[in-house]
Amino acid sequence: MNDGIVSTILARCKRCYSCIRECPAQAIKVINGQAAVLYDRCIVCGHCVKVCSQNAKRIASDIEKVQKEILTRTKTIAIVAPSFAASFPNDYLKLPSALRKLGFSKVVEAAFGADLISGLYLKVFESEAKETIISSACPAVINYIEKYHTDLVPSLAKIVSPMIAMGRYLKSTLGSDYKIVFIGPCIAKKQEYMDEEVCGAIDAVLTFTEIKRMFINGGIDFAGLEETNFDPPHANMGKSFPLAGGLLKTATISGDILEKEIIAVEGKKKVTELIDEISDNNIKAKFVDILFCEGCISGPAIDSNLNYYSRREKVINFIEEKINSIDKQIWKSNLYNSRKINFYRNFSAKSQKRPYPSEERIKEILTETNKFKAQDELNCGACGYNTCREYAIAIAKDLAEKEMCLPYLIDELGKAYNNLSNTQEQLRTAEKLASIGQLAAGVAHEINNPLGTIILYSSLLKKQLSRIQESGQNTEDLDLIMDEANRCKNIVANLLNFARQGKLNLTKVELSLLLEEIVKTIKVNPLYENIEMNIDGQISSSVIDGDEDQLKQVFLNIINNACEALGELEKDCRKTLAIKLKWENDFLVTEITDNGPGIPKDNFAKVFTPFFTTKKIGKGTGLGLAITYGIVKMHQGFISFQSEQGKGTTFVVKLPKENKTQIINLN
Percent of the chain with pLDDT over 70: 90
Secondary structure class of 584 (helix, strand, coil): strand
pLDDT band at 3 (very low <50, low <70, confident <90, very high): low
Long-range contacts of 633-639 (CB under 8 A, 24+ apart): 633/426, 633/430, 634/501, 634/502, 634/504, 634/550, 634/664, 634/666, 635/504, 635/546, 635/547, 635/551, 635/659, 637/587, 638/587, 639/608
**575 has pLDDT over 60:** yes
The residue-averaged pLDDT of 559-564 equals: 90
Q: What is the pLDDT of residue 470?
A: 56
Q: What is the pLDDT of residue 665?
A: 41
Q: How far is the C-alpha of 394 from the C-alpha of 38, rounded, in Å?
A: 13
pLDDT of residue 1: 39
Please give the CATH topology (third level) of the domain spanning 416-500: Helix Hairpins (1.10.287)
Q: Are 554 and 653 in contact (CB under 8 A)?
A: yes
Q: What is the pLDDT of residue 663?
A: 45
Element holding 511 (H helix, E strand): helix 511-523
Higher pLDDT: 384 or 456? It is 456
Single-letter code of the amino acid located at 500: R
- How many Cα neighbours within 13 Å face the side chain of 1? 17
pLDDT category, 304, cuts 50, 70, 90? confident
pLDDT the model gives residue 661: 53
Q: Averaged over 254-282, what is the pLDDT?
A: 82
Please state which of the ranges 2-11, 341-350, 545-554, 577-586 shows the lowest mean pLDDT: 2-11
**Mean pLDDT, rounded, of the chain:** 85
**Whole-angstrom Cα Rg for the chain:** 43
Q: Which of 43, 167, 193 is nearest to 109 (CA)?
A: 167
Burial of 660 (0-12, 13-18, 19+ CB in 10 A): exposed
Predicted local confidence at residue 471, as pLDDT = 57
Q: What whole-number distance in Å separates Cα of residue 593 and Cα of residue 532?
A: 12
Residue 657 has pLDDT above 50, yes or no: yes
- Which pLDDT value is given to residue 262? 86
Give the pLDDT score at 157.
93
- List CB contacts of 416: < 8 A, sequence separation 6 or more: none
Of 445 and 102, the one with more pLDDT: 102
Half-sphere exposure of 44 (CA within 13 A, CB side): 23
Helices (H), 251-405: 268-279, 308-322, 328-337, 359-368, 388-396
Poorest-confidence range of 309-313, 340-344, 358-362, 386-390?
386-390
User: How confident is the model over 162-190, as a mean pLDDT?
Assistant: 95
State how far the Cα of 388 lies from the Cα of 127, in Å rounded to an integer: 45
Q: Taking residues 86-99, what's their average pLDDT?
A: 94
What does the CA dihedral 208, 210, 211, 216 come to, rounded to 10 degrees? 120
Task: Go through the chain and tell me how many residues it has.
Answer: 667
Residues 295, 42: contact at Cβ < 8 Å? no
Question: What secondary structure does DSSP assign to 140-169, as a single string?
Answer: HHHHHHHHH-GGGGGGB--B--HHHHHHHH
Mean pLDDT of 204-220: 95
Counting other chains too, the contacts that 454-463 makes at CB distance below 8 Å and 24 or more residues apart are 454/481, 454/485, 455/482, 455/485, 455/486, 455/489, 458/482, 458/485
Give the fold, CATH level 3, of 501-667.
Heat Shock Protein 90 (3.30.565)
- Separation of alpha carbons 33 and 14, rounded Å: 8
Confidence category of residue 276, pLDDT binned at 50, 70, 90? very high
pLDDT at position 500: 57
Contact 138/114 with Cβ under 8 angstroms? no
- What are the pLDDT digits (tens) for 502-548? 567 789 999 999 999 999 888 888 888 888 999 887 788 899 999 88
- At 438, the pLDDT band (50, 70, 90 cuts) reads low
- Mean pLDDT value of segment 73-85: 94
Edge-to-edge order in the sheet of strand 287-291: 133-134, 287-291, 262-266
Give me the phi and psi of 271, to 5 degrees please.
-65, -50
Q: How many CA atoms lie within 13 A of 100 on its CB side?
A: 16
Orientation angle between helical segments 548-566 and 511-523, nearest 10 degrees: 40
pLDDT band at 166 (very low <50, low <70, confident <90, very high): very high
Q: Among candidates 550, 569, 580, 566, which has minimal Cα distance to 659?
A: 550
Low-confidence winner among 174-183, 236-245, 256-265 (lowest mean pLDDT): 256-265
Q: Which of 613, 118, 549 is nearest to 332 (CA)?
A: 118
Q: Where along the chain do the CATH 3.30.70.20 domains lie?
A: 1-60
Q: What are phi and psi of 417, to 5 degrees?
A: -65, -45
Q: Mean pLDDT over residues 42-65, rounded? A: 91
CATH architecture of 1-60: 2-Layer Sandwich (3.30)
**Does residue 620 carry a pLDDT above 90?**
no
Query: Average pLDDT, stretch 101-127?
Result: 92
- Bond prior to 233 in cis (omega within 30° of 0): yes
What is the maximum span of the chain, computed from C-alpha positions, in angstroms?
150
Q: Which residue has the higher pLDDT, 562 or 613?
A: 562
Q: What is the DSSP string of 77-134?
A: EEEE-TTHHHHSTTTGGGHHHHHHHHT-SEEEETHHHHHHHHHHHHHHHHS---SPEE
Q: Please, which pLDDT band fits residue 667 given cuts at 50, 70 and 90?
A: very low
109: pLDDT strictly greater than 70: yes
Give the separation between CA 60 and CA 188, rounded to whole angstroms: 11
CA–CA dist 222, 561 (Å, integer): 90
CATH 1.10.287 boundaries in the chain: 416-500
Residues of the chain with CATH 3.30.565.10: 501-667
